[in-house]
Amino acid sequence: MMMSNIQEGEILLIEDNKNDKELILRALKEYNLDEKVFSVKDGAEALDYIFTTGQYARRNTSLPKVIILDLKLPKVNGLEVLEAIRSHEQTRLLPVVVFTSSNQEEDKLKSYQLGTNSFVVKPIDYEQFFQAVSQLGLYWLLLNQPAL
């Protein structure tokens, strides 16, 4: 499932909740997209992966096609990760989808102010969650034409 030996992925999943991570991977597997995912568990690890520092300093520098970003993360929160992505020339156009349990207006507003491409509230219902993830994966990997 996770491409830990290669350390590359077309989708970078930044998610600390193990249950949500498993559901996301299961939904993407329906369309054989799960093998295109590299997953990290907190914002600090995400920044290391994106900017090829720390434990990811030796990985290939190719960027993912899309980042699926949770907001409520340990170490560095999702808004800080988004801000860091948008503040660097080589990553500022990278598609970022905020996929969060937060339905707070201030989180949505701040995410868009920082440059998210999409803000999706995680559905509570299993089937709706599954559908939302499948549609996100299909759209961002197969339909979207990235600037990078």
CA–CA distances in Å: residue 37 to residues 25, 52, 108, 141: 8, 17, 25, 11
Residues 97-109: tens digit of each pLDDT:
999 998 999 999 9
Do residues 120 and 79 lie in contact, with contact meaning Cβ atoms separated by under 8 Å?
no
Average pLDDT over residues 66-82: 96
Average pLDDT over residues 119-140: 92
Domains of the chain, CATH where assigned? 11-140 (3.40.50.2300)
- pLDDT score for 32: 86
The DSSP output letter for 34 is: G
Average pLDDT over residues 72-100: 96
Average pLDDT over residues 59-80: 92
User: Helices 18-29 and 126-138 meet at what angle, rounded to 10?
Assistant: 60
